[in-house]
């Protein structure tokens, strides 16, 4: 089933799996506000039956970051440029960036597991889109970089929280402050990548992971994701209490005693 095919984003659903594909291969999937609107709309259209969402990029690169035209005064036709955005009121500026962020937030929903299949460049907004997903399967040629600081900007598309959660504050600061490339081998070693495979095996490895995720009962996976997502924000004893409550719900559900 086709959900959407517009502005460089194609989304389809097959059974319990949705596949979201960036389709500006000729531009290395450089991102635009129109793409962000399409990604946000994809999240709104997802059927409740979807359990796993796979994010891919067509061509040689997952996403090379922002379409650089947005940084120029002329911008992209029909879109606000960043220099133009700077002249907005505080409220308008905040609301516009919040709108951009909507493309990056729904991937973390508790009722889904999201997987990014990353090849080639994942730079800036591309890096942050990969970070928006729960899991990352990477080809050996994958290269992550956060270049915003070198442009005088900051990463503002929701990427700073998961980056620190994955690699820690000091390494996250070093990656962002220097803008250097993190190659696939290092990405796996420091926790950015769950798996690194040859480029020719990327699709198969992603499909295998998707199948493994679907093998677990949905409600158990939802409860487990919620426990893990919030564990760092709780004390050990508070987390144990959450585990007990979640297990009580699962036991009652399995016994046919759920609400």
Does 230 lie in the same domain as 173?
A: no
259 within domain boundaries: no
Q: Do 160 and 228 belong together in one domain?
A: no
Q: How far is CA 18 from CA 15, 53, 78, in A?
A: 8, 5, 30
Supply the mean pLDDT for the chain: 96
- Phi then psi for residue 19, to 5 deg, are -120, 125
Indicate if 176 and 226 belong to the same structural domain.
no
Residue partners of 143: CB distance under 8 A and separation at least 6: 120, 121, 122, 123, 181, 182, 183, 184
6 plus 64 within the same structural domain: yes
Q: Strands 17-22 and 52-57, how do they pair? A: parallel
Same domain, 189 and 237: no
On the question of pLDDT at 252 being above 80, the answer is: yes
State whether 100 and 207 are in the same domain: yes
Within a domain: residue 22?
yes
93 is a domain residue: yes
Check residue 192 and give its pLDDT: 98
Pair (226, 203) in one structural domain: no
Q: Is 158 contained in some domain?
A: yes
Residue 108: per-residue pLDDT = 93
CATH number at 196 reads 3.90.226.10
- Residues 147 and 229 grouped into a single domain: no
pLDDT tens-digit readout, 116-175:
999 999 999 999 999 999 999 999 999 999 999 999 999 999 999 999 999 999 999 999
Percent of the chain topping pLDDT 70: 99
148 as an active site residue: the answer is: yes
Its pTM stands at 0.95
In a domain, 245, yes or no: yes
Q: Is residue 113 part of a domain?
A: yes
- Give residue 80's pLDDT band: very low, low, confident or very high (50, 70, 90): confident
pLDDT tens digits along 2-54 = 999 999 999 999 999 999 999 999 999 999 999 999 999 999 999 999 999 99
Both 242 and 168 in a single domain?
no
Q: Are residues 241 and 210 in the same domain?
A: no
Residues 30, 113 within the same domain = yes
Task: Single out the catalytic residue among 26, 79, 148, 185.
Answer: 148
| Count of structural domains within the chain | 2
Report yes or no on 176 lying in a domain.
yes
Give residue 249's domain range: 218-254
Assess whether 112 and 128 both reside in one domain.
yes
Q: pLDDT band for position 259 (50/70/90)?
A: low
**Residue 36 domain flag:** yes
Q: How do 17-22 and 9-14 pair as beta strands?
A: antiparallel
């Amino acid at each position: 089933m086709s959900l959407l095919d517009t502005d460089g984003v194609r989304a389809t659903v097959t059974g319990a799996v949705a596949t979201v594909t960036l389709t500006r291969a000729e531009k290395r999937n450089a991102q635009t506000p129109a793409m962000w609107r399409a990604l946000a709309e994809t999240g709104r259209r997802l059927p409740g039956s979807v359990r796993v969402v796979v994010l891919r990029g067509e061509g040689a690169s997952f996403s090379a970051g922002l379409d650089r035209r947005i940084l120029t005064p002329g911008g992209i036709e029909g879109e606000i440029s960043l220099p133009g955005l700077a002249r907005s009121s505080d409220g308008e500026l905040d609301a516009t960036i919040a709108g951009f962020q909507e493309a990056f937030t729904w991937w973390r929903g508790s009722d889904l597991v999201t997987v990014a299949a990353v090849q080639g460049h994942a730079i800036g907004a591309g890096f942050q889109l990969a970070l928006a997903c729960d899991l990352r399967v990477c080809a050996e040629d994958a290269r992550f970089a956060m270049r915003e600081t070198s442009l005088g900007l900051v990463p503002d598309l929701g990427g700073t929280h998961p980056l620190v959660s994955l690699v820690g504050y000091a390494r996250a600061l070093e990656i962002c402050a220097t803008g250097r490339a993190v190659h696939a081998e290092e990405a796996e070693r420091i926790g950015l990548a769950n798996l690194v495979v040859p480029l020719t095996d990327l699709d198969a490895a992603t499909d295998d992971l998707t199948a493994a995720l679907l093998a677990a009962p949905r409600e158990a996976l939802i409860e487990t994701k919620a426990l893990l997502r919030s564990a760092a924000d709780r004390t050990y004893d508070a987390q144990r209490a959450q585990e007990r409550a979640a297990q009580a719900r699962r036991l009652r559900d399995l016994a046919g005693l759920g609400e």
